[in-house]
Amino acid sequence: MHYMAREIKFSLVYRDMWQSSGKYVPRVDQLEEVAPAIIDMGCFDRVETNGGAFEQVNLLFGENPNIAVRRWTAPFHKAGIQTHMLERGLNALRMNPVPADVRELMFKVKKKQGTDIARSFCGLNDHRNLKGSVIGAKKGGMISQVALSITHSPVHTVEYYMGVVDKVVEYGCDEICLKDMAGIGRPNVLGELVSSIKKKYPHIKVQYHGHTGPGFSTASMLEVARAGADYLDVAVEPLSWGKVHPDVITIREMLKSDGFLVKDINMDAYMEVRRLTQKFIDDFLGYWINPSNAKMTSLLVGCGLPGGMMGSMMADLKGFQGAINAAQRAHGRPEMSLDTLMVKLFGEVEYVWPRLGYPPLVTPFSQYVKNTALMNLFNMLSDKPRWTTIDKDTWGMILGHMGKLPGELAPEIVALAKEKGLEFTTGNPQDNYPDELPKFRQMMKEEGWDEGEDEEELFEFAMHERQYRDYKSGIAKERFNAELEDFKKKAGAPINVVRPVVELPKFDAEDFMQKHPKALPVQAPAKGELLWEVDVIDNSKAPVAGDKVEAGKAIGYVQTFYGMEEVLPSVSGRVLAVMSKHGEKVEKGEIIAFIAEE
């Protein structure tokens, strides 16, 4: 066969295996324990070691992420295996935009710490957001790999993606990754895309990353291999398949049968990696892994949402089910089961997505689309119009603050923006975020903190200020240990690290909706610990009935695994009722208060 002499190489995405499964990744001592067995497997040319939420997770453990990266990458370097990280372009290693000087420092630091390859993606595939990543990675001495956020829509054609490739190659990137984060890329289209890249830029290495949720990824791997891909991202049991990634054994056998050269797998070492991974799950990491992650579902084909979002979406729906059914009863309509609501929500995501300009459904844009669909569904079932509730971050995406949307906005969205007096922008998103390193240097000096080897502590502080402060103060370790103890005891008691729980009268959301049909819900923006009062941020006080609130101005916070999320009312008005206490655990989308618009 004509592929006979060509080798396909494998990368073990050990970071993403965990990140796509649960809240945490293994501790550094566990990573050091499994590294020799991964090396002994003998089939990996690359391992994904860090990036994504890796740094935040270590800070949440109360540990230093810089030490973790150095110690975890070291054994692979010694064995001649390349390491790679994931970063989010304009958002770098967090969920919100990062100044250019902090982004540039990141690449220098990560290279010094032992990370060879920077995989950079922009959730909107805006080449302007990727330019700083390519230039920064090259300047820092790293291999620059640009990841295309893959999705399936009328605008996401091979020509569209090649337009992005042309620009990032011009900027000097070394490699292209097809980041099929929802696994909905169609195998034939992905094959055509790889062929186009290889034909036009033969020197560019191509790597494919596809999740298995909707079931296309195995076929996609064969297609991209035949089209000229160089590397495939794979996983190992017990975290392979489900909503995560295909297992190396199956993919290797498939490619070998097709005539490709592939490295042999040392099965004794595979079984050791498998055993240790299971041991880490049993030790403590399994407490945060949703069992649904082990299942594939073809329902993901239609809505195109990443598989990892299924758990949070079901939690959202559970939070809304009571209020929706209260509205249904009030209008003499039958109540809805969770399955019925899920199908309706998937349908609404399919409706909303093209009208919001087809943003690829990857963090954070998948959340924006899903949240808008959820609020549309809630409002329509409450006899209110679509688009009544659009949050601040989603408006930022719509208006162009985060980059150019791939498709056209629907006329009704444009009209709504004009009606609200909102302005669209086509400027470079990075220009909205001025340099901040001098400010953080000064703060470190005032705190008496060392900037660290290769300025790595300065970088960590500037990238994750709140989590870094919690790590330095010891609060993070206390909070994690308390959370772990709660799981172990199965007590489920809320952890309150700021001040005692404020006692509030407890209302029933359904009854409240029936008695106050004009009440508008305020939802928890994320899963975590509800903090109505946070002294270190703004001396905030817990809201009570009658308090005035402003649309888009925080009235509280939720402590999540990656930092604080603001609780933002969608309209200005007065608090009618507070449903959840300070210090309580809340699910994303759960109704925590009601307000009346004024």
Q: Look at residues 570, 592, 262 and name the one whose alpha carbon lies nearest to residue 420.
A: 570
pLDDT tens across 174-216, in order? 999 999 998 999 999 999 999 999 999 999 999 999 999 999 9
Considering the domain architecture, whether residues 485 and 547 belong to the same structural domain is answered as no
Classify residue 125: in a domain, yes or no: no
Instruction: Looking at the structure, tell me whether residues 514 and 552 fall in a common domain.
Output: yes
On whether residue 442 sits in a domain, the answer given is: yes
Rounded Cα distance between 314 and 292, Å, is 11
Position 535 scores a pLDDT of 43
Same domain, 525 and 579: yes
Q: Who's near 268: CB < 8 A, 6+ residues apart? A: 40
Is 1 domain-assigned? no
Q: DSSP assignment of 311-365, as one string?
A: HHHHHHHHHHHHHHHHHHHHTT-----HHHHHHHHHHHHHHHHHHBT---S-TTH
Identify the pLDDT of residue 139. 98
Q: Is there a single domain that holds both residue 485 and residue 513?
A: no
pLDDT at 447: 96
Looking at the structure, tell me whether residues 546 and 480 fall in a common domain. no
Q: Confirm if 194 and 228 have CB atoms less than 8 A apart.
A: yes
Give the integer Cα–Cα distance in Å for 298 and 572. Answer: 41
Count of beta carbons in the 10 Å neighbourhood of residue 194:
24
The CA distance from 479 to 461, in Å, is 19
Q: What is the pLDDT of residue 210?
A: 97
Q: How many structural domains compose the chain?
A: 2
pTM of the model: 0.82
| One domain, residues 524 and 483 | no
Q: Return the axis-axis angle of helices 65-78 and 100-113, rounded to nearest 10°.
A: 50
- What is the edge-to-edge ordering of all strands in the sheet holding 520-523? 520-523, 591-597, 573-578, 548-549
For every residue of 50-100, DSSP letters joined together read EETTHHHHHHHHTS-HHHHHHHHHHHHHHTT-EEEEEE-GGGTTSSS---H
Cα–Cα distance measured from residue 353 to residue 345, given in angstroms and rounded to the nearest whole number = 12
Q: Do 517 and 592 belong together in one domain? A: yes
Residues 514, 592, single domain; the answer is yes
Angle, helices 456-463 vs 437-447, to 10°: value is 110
Q: How far, in Å, are 317, 363, 378, 380 from residue 384 at the CA level?
A: 18, 28, 8, 5
Domain match, 462 and 530 both = no
Is 544 a member of any domain? yes
Q: What is the pLDDT of residue 581?
A: 79
Q: Are residues 554 and 515 in the same domain?
A: yes
Is residue 563 assigned to a domain? yes
Q: What is the pLDDT of residue 76?
A: 98
- 532 occurs within a structural domain: yes
**Separation in Å, CA 272 to CA 266, 287, 500, 574:** 10, 22, 46, 59
Centroid of chain to Cα 17? 13
Distance between CA atoms of residues 270 and 10, nearest Å: 14
Residue segments in the chain with a per-residue pLDDT below the cut of 50: 1-3, 491-507, 535-539
Residue 461 shares a structural domain with residue 521 = no
CA separation for the pair 593, 576 (Å, rounded): 8
Q: Is residue 66 part of a domain?
A: no
pLDDT at 11: 98
Q: SS3 of 200, please?
A: helix
Name the token pair of 580. 């959840």
Q: Is 207 within 8 Å of 230 (Cβ atoms)?
A: yes
CATH number of the domain that 532 lies in?
Answer: 2.40.50.100
Contact 451, 441 (CB under 8 A): yes
SS (HEC) of 383-435 = CCCCCCCCCHHHHHHHHCCCCCCCCCECHHHHHHHHHCCCCCCCCCHHHHCCC
| Rounded Cα–Cα distance for residues 326 and 324 (Å) | 5
Question: Are 183 and 200 a contacting pair, CB within 8 Å?
Answer: no
Write out the residue range of the structural domain in which residue 473 sits. Answer: 436-489
Q: Does 328 map to a domain? A: no
For the segment 336-376, what is each residue's pLDDT rounded down to a tens digit? 888 888 888 888 988 999 999 999 988 788 888 988 998 89
**Is residue 519 domain-shared with residue 586, that is, in the same domain?**
yes
